[in-house]
């Protein structure tokens, strides 16, 4: 233990450019996704309670913001783990490499659904398609059925898009551009929904860049309101604004089932089994990324990874499933646990 402490101290001094006043941190620092935040917090609390290590500090900065902090460098002033509700982008991986963060372990922890929910529990849930959502929330929509010209979205009420939808004003509280939930919503709802129009699908085949630019741009005229990185804040806003909708992770619906209801999207309700088998169309994988170079000087980093990937935590009947995490299959969990605990570094850009 004495030798390990001396090695850790030497590494810490080296990694902080020779700053003689630097000390080895006494706890793990975690940043990133607001969706992964409650799961990571639960693991941190359990880890702190059952081990000799200090409880890790977990911050909700959004996936993009967390990965920027994570990739900024190696050393005490940089976080050890980044949570993400989407996979690391190629550009982020390259930034990490350029800043000396060259040994990164990617850990897929399970699945999550993105919910379009409201606090109006008085009747039937909203039934809507992804194409209708795109036509309601896109900044620009086709002027005709040829998609040769686009106009600012004129829809004010949901029923302006389709008479079957509610007659109330479009008002959606959602995550900001730095959020992994926002990225996934753009890909899985906006872009996939736009392809439901024949001319937009043809545009995607002819000019993918133009299609993604148009299909992925959310309106900025007050119908969509960026509500910050805190999904709990969106939930609270909805309870005070029952005519509005919000976009957030399934775990927040699961934990607030008594006061929130999720919309049925393309015929599927946001339920645990539907997310697990992929029949709910707005589903995505959740991750965290470990800075392996910190494992030798941040106490408990490898042990935290082991706790997160234990059956007690992420297993089918683990404490994270009680909080809304949709787990990997038994076989996938076993393989991922081995990969994570050995801190197997990514050897190529992930996408």
How many whole angstroms separate alpha carbon 149 and alpha carbon 146? 8
Q: Is the dihedral of CA 234, 231, 114, 348 positive or negative?
A: positive
Place of tokens 């299609």: 211
Say which CATH superfamily domain 113-283 falls into: Periplasmic binding protein-like II (3.40.190.10)
What is the model's pLDDT at position 9?
Answer: 45
What radius of gyration, in Å, describes the C-alpha atoms of the chain? 22
Nearest in space to 22 (alpha carbons), one of 36, 8, 35: 8
Both tokens assigned to 60: 């909700």
Q: What pLDDT score was predicted for residue 350?
A: 61
Which pair of tokens denotes residue 281? 């169309």
Digit-coded pLDDT (tens) for 118-169: 998 777 899 999 999 999 999 999 999 999 999 999 999 999 999 999 999 9
CATH of domain 2-112+285-341: 3.40.190.10
> Beta-carbon neighbour count of residue 206 at 10 Å?
10
Give per-residue pLDDT as tens, 198-227: 999 999 999 999 999 999 999 999 999 998
**Distance between CA atoms of 160 and 135, rounded to whole angstroms?**
10
pLDDT of residue 351: 60
The domain ranges of the chain are 2-112+285-341, 113-283
For the CA atoms of 225, 231, 237, 238, the dihedral, rounded to the nearest 10 degrees, stands at 90
Residues of the chain with pLDDT under 70: 1-24, 229, 231, 350-351
Closest among 189, 216, 231 to 324, alpha carbons compared: 231
The pLDDT of residue 267 is 96
Matching CATH topology for 2-112+285-341 and 113-283? yes
Token reading at 56: 């890790």
- The whole-number pLDDT of residue 16 equals 45
């Amino acid at each position: 233990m004495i030798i390990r402490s001396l090695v850790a101290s030497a590494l810490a001094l080296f990694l902080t450019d020779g700053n003689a006043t630097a000390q080895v941190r006494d706890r793990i620092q975690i940043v990133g996704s607001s969706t992964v935040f409650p799961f990571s917090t639960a693991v941190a609390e359990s880890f702190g309670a059952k081990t000799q290590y200090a409880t890790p500090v977990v911050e909700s900065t959004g996936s993009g913001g967390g990965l920027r902090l994570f990739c900024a460098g190696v050393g005490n002033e940089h976080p050890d783990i980044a949570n993400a509700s989407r996979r690391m982008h190629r550009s982020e991986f390259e930034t990490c490499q350029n800043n000396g963060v060259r040994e990164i372990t990617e850990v897929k922890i399970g699945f999550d659904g993105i919910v379009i929910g409201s606090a109006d529990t008085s009747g039937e849930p909203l039934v809507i398609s992804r194409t209708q959502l795109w036509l309601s929330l896109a900044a620009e929509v086709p002027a005709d059925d040829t998609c040769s010209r686009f106009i600012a979205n004129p829809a004010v009420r949901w029923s302006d898009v389709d008479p079957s939808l509610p007659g109330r004003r479009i008002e959606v509280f959602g995550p900001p551009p730095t959020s992994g939930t926002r990225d996934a919503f753009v890909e899985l709802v906006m872009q996939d929904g736009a392809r439901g129009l024949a001319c937009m699908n043809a545009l995607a085949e002819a000019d993918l860049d133009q299609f993604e630019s148009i299909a992925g741009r959310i309106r900025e005229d007050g119908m969509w309101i960026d509500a910050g990185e805190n999904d709990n804040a969106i939930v609270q806003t909805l309870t005070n604004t029952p005519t509005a909708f919000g976009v957030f992770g399934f775990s927040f619906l699961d934990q607030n089932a008594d006061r929130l209801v999720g919309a049925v999207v393309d015929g599927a309700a946001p339920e645990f089994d539907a997310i697990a088998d992929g029949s709910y169309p707005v589903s995505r994988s959740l991750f965290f990324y470990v800075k392996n170079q910190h494992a030798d000087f941040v106490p408990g980093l490898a042990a935290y990874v082991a706790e997160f990937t234990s059956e007690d935590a992420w297993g089918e009947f683990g404490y994270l499933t009680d909080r809304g995490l949709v787990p990997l299959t038994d076989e996938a969990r076993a393989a991922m646990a081995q990969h994570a605990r050995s801190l197997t570094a990514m050897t190529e850009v992930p996408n």
